[in-house]
Chain A
Amino acid sequence: MTAKGPRSKPPIGKRSFGEPLPGVDLTKLAGLLIVIEGPDSSGRSTQIGLLSEWLEQKGYAVAQMGLTRSVLVGEALDEAKMGNTLSPRTMSLFYATDFYDQLENSIVPALRAGYIVLADRYVYTLMARDLVRGANPDWVESLYSKAIMPDAVYLLQATIANLADRTLATHHIMDYWESGMDLGLSRDWYDSFVRYQLKLRAEFLRLQRKYNLELINANRSVKTTQNDLRGRVEMILERAYAGAQG
Chain B
Amino acid sequence: MAAKSDIPGRLIAVEGLDGSGKSTQIHLVHQWLQGLNCKVFFSEWNSSGMVKDATRRGKKKQLLTPTTFSLIHATDFADRYERQILPMLKGGYIVLCDRYLFTAFARDGVRGCSPEWLRKLYGFARLPDIAFYFRLPLETSLGRILEGRPQLKYFEAGMDLGLSTDIQESFRLFQGRVMENYDRMAGEFGFTVIDATRAIPEQQEAVRGIIQDRIDLALFKRR
Contact = CB atoms under 8 A, between A and B. Distances in A.
Interface in B61-110: 61, 63-68, 71-72, 74-75, 78-79, 82-83
A89 B124 contact: yes
A93 B78 CA distance: 8
Contact of A100 (B50, B67, B114): B67
Contacts of A76: 50-51, 53-54
* Residue from B51, B61, B67 with most neighbouring chain A CB atoms (10 Å): B67
A198 interface: no
Interface stretch (A44-52, A125-133, A137-145, A230-238): A137-145
B123 interface: yes
Contact of B79 (A73, A90, A101, A105): A90
Contact of B82 (A20, A89, A142): A89
Contacts of B53: 75-76
A97 B71 contact: yes
A87 interface: yes
Contacts, number: 92
B113 interface: yes
Contacts of B65: 22-24, 100-101, 104-105
B71 A86 contact: no
A19 B112 contact: no
A75 B55 CA distance: 12
Contact of B75 (A23, A24, A90, A138): A90
Nearest to B64: A72
B214 interface: no
A36 to B, nearest CB: 24
Interface residues of A, number: 32
- Best-buried of A89, A90, A104 by chain B (most CB within 10 Å): A90
Contacts of B74: 93
B111 interface: yes
Nearest to A142: B120
Most buried by A among B63, B68, B72, B124: B68
B219 interface: no
Contacts of A241: none
Interface residues of B, number: 31
Contacts of A87: 78-79, 82-83
B124 A139 contact: yes
A146 B67 contact: yes
A216 to B, nearest CB: 30
Contacts of B124: 89, 139
A160 interface: no
Q: Which of A19, A22, A23, A101 has the most CB of B within 10 A?
A: A22
B176 interface: no
A80 B83 CA distance: 14
A138 B121 CA distance: 10
A20 B114 contact: yes
A39 to B, nearest CB: 25
A142 B71 contact: no
B146 to A, nearest CB: 27
A72 B68 contact: yes
Interface in A59-117: 71-73, 75-76, 79-80, 85-87, 89-90, 93-94, 96-97, 100-101, 104-105
A22 B160 CA distance: 12
Given A23-B66, A93-B71, A145-B117, A72 B50 contact: no
Given A23-B65, A86-B50, A97-B72, 12 more contacts: A19-B117, A71-B61, A72-B72, A73-B54, A76-B50, A90-B82, A93-B75, A97-B68, A100-B67, A104-B68, A139-B124, A145-B117
7 contacts: A76-B50, A90-B50, A90-B79, A100-B71, A101-B65, A142-B120, A143-B121
In the A-B complex, the 7 residue pairs with the closest CB atoms: A22-B112, A93-B75, A22-B66, A97-B71, A142-B120, A76-B54, A73-B54
